[in-house]
Structure 1
Amino acid sequence: MLDHLVYSTPDLAGTVDELRERGVDLVPGGPHDGLGTRNFIGPLGGSAYLEVVGPDPDQPAPARPRPFRIDELTVPTLVTWAVATTDIDTTVARARAAGHDAGVPFGMARRRPDGVLISWRIAFPVTDWDGLAPVLIDWGDAPHPSGGLPGGTRLESLRATHPDPGGVSAALAVVGAELAVTAGEPGLVAELSTPAGRVVLR
């Protein structure tokens, strides 16, 4: 089940302004302390949401590269997607037994603008198939970020291309994810409908 899309950018403020002008209603998410990043989030319909993530100017540069390719990007990019699971350890073990290393789950947290600290567990796939193999996320008892988001933006379609669509599809199947994958250069494409019109993220 789609949890969220990850749209990375080297210029968080600029990208948020641009998306808002195009009709995507984004609200502050919060900083990821120690990673040098912060995010804004917006609705995609249902319990899915869009995460726009980039460098946090209020944090020092981290010792390690920022996640989601932020430090290597020159333009905003739809880098990956996240799939929700209620038992991340079992999902990871099942995937590994089937030949896909979905990563090692670890804890993360961020403080929302209202002061509430939310935490979750996440696993980044070792072989991510150019961002098409999803990140796994388990919110546990934490309030889901989609709760209380403004309406108006919906995800109309999500599709992918890759030189090895069969390999990608196999990696998706073992974590219970579904995504249309066709042959082509690696990439994710999301089409959104907004009050201002259609928005395509790549």
Structure 2
Amino acid sequence: MPQPSLGLDHVVIFVEDLQRASEDYGALGFEVVPGGVHAGGLTHNALIPFADSTYLELLAPTTRWKVAALRLPGLRRLSRVVFRSSPSLRRAVRRVRSGEGLVDFAMACSPLAAAVEVLGDSQHVEGPMPGGRVRPDGEQVAWQVAFPDAPVLPFLIEDITPRALRVPPAKTHPCGATGIHAVSIATGSFDRTVALYKTLLGREPFETVAPIPRSLAVEFRLGATQLRVLAPMGANQVLRAHLARRGEGLYNLILRADRSSNLDPARAHGAQITLARS
């Protein structure tokens, strides 16, 4: 089987109210495009497309009662049944119960089956399985996805219909953002997480200066995007508090832009996002 090609596709931000979140991200200086309703009807989304072909996905349940359902006691144990038709939500249940914010990210992969095979015995992967949504204009979009069990790994996506149907053309954003520069993943198992990424990407990481004092960090380069693995050392209260609150997975996001600033996390619905001058 051929070696899969991999590239960052998009980052998922869970929000409770899609309309309100779309308005708030618009106020932060992003052009937000309605995405549509996913197959199964549990979720809908809106997209923020960038010039580097990546995008942010604002993902929300289609009705408010589903937000409450996400936070039911014991839901983590029942999630395999409750969210059988929405594995992306199942993966994010632990962090979603802690509130809005960064919950997942996707790598575009072709062929998808090859990436699943590459992970092999190191990680159980659910898929490939079909996915899709109906756009507001009625156009059907289809893809296939695979979900590793480890929350530190991205889910993998391969388009069935043309990607241009799934991802709208890049927008010029008033905030100056042009793409995703870096994605940071927080973990309590540094060596294991680094080994998983070495297996998936087929390359060694670069050493990097940890952006947070008293933490371990390495960096994988994926095209123009940096994937940073972070783990607390000693009494690092920032990362330890994050891991206790939201679990392993996405920590923060740095967007390539024509200016430098930190976005208001309240307006960004819990997502830690920084604009960095490129």
- Give the TM-score, by structure 1 length: 0.83
Task: Measure, in 2, the Cα distance between the counterparts of 1:158 and 1:34.
Answer: 29
SS in structure 1 opposite 2:44?
Answer: strand
| Matching residue within 2, 17, 21 for 2:8 | 2
Task: Measure, in 2, the Cα distance between the counterparts of 1:22 and 1:196.
Answer: 13
In structure 2, do the counterparts of structure 1 residues 10 and 74 end up closer, same or farther at CA, with 3 Å as the change threshold? farther
SS in structure 1 opposite 2:194?
Answer: helix
Asked whether the equivalents of residues 42 and 50 of structure 1 are also in contact (C-alpha less than 8 Å), the reply is yes
SS in structure 2 opposite 1:175?
Answer: helix
Asked whether the equivalents of residues 125 and 147 of structure 2 are also in contact (C-alpha less than 8 Å), the reply is yes
Matched, 1:166 2:229: no
Task: Measure, in 2, the Cα distance between the counterparts of 1:56 and 1:164.
Answer: 35
Asked whether the equivalents of residues 6 and 80 of structure 1 are also in contact (C-alpha less than 8 Å), the reply is yes
| Matching residue within 81, 84, 87 for 2:105 | 81
Give % identity: 22
2:251 matched residue in structure 1: 188
One-letter amino acid of the structure 2 residue matched with residue 192 of structure 1: L
1:11-26 correspondence to structure 2 within 5 Å: 11-26=17-32
Task: Measure, in 1, the Cα distance between the counterparts of 2:260 and 2:137.
Answer: 31
One-letter amino acid of the structure 2 residue matched with residue 103 of structure 1: E
Residues matched between the structures, number: 198
1:130-145 correspondence to structure 2 within 5 Å: 132-144=152-164, 145=166
Please tell me the root mean square deviation across aligned C-alpha atoms, in Å.
2.9
1:64 matched residue in structure 2: 82
Deviations 1:143-189 (CA, angstroms, capped at 9, x unpaired): 34334132333323222222222211222222228421121334420
Matched, 1:34 2:59: no
* Runs of 4+ residues over 4 Å off in structure 1: 58-63, 193-197
2:61 matched residue in structure 1: 55
Task: Measure, in 2, the Cα distance between the counterparts of 1:151 and 1:105.
Answer: 34
In structure 2, do the counterparts of structure 1 residues 117 and 197 end up closer, same or farther at CA, with 3 Å as the change threshold? farther
One-letter amino acid of the structure 2 residue matched with residue 77 of structure 1: G
Matched, 1:175 2:196: no
- Give the TM-score, by structure 2 length: 0.62
Task: Measure, in 1, the Cα distance between the counterparts of 2:16 and 2:258.
Answer: 26
CA shift for structure 1 position 193: 5.4
In structure 2, do the counterparts of structure 1 residues 33 and 78 end up closer, same or farther at CA, with 3 Å as the change threshold? same
Task: Measure, in 2, the Cα distance between the counterparts of 1:182 and 1:59.
Answer: 35
Query: Which entry has the higher C-alpha Rg, 1 or 2?
Result: 2
Unaligned 5+ runs, structure 2: 1-6, 70-80, 203-219, 221-226, 233-238, 240-247, 266-270, 273-278
User: Could you tell which deviates more after superposition, 58-67 or 103-112?
Assistant: 58-67
* Structure richer in helix, relative to its length: 2
Unaligned 5+ runs, structure 1: none
One-letter amino acid of the structure 1 residue matched with residue 93 of structure 2: R
Task: Measure, in 2, the Cα distance between the counterparts of 1:166 and 1:197.
Answer: 32
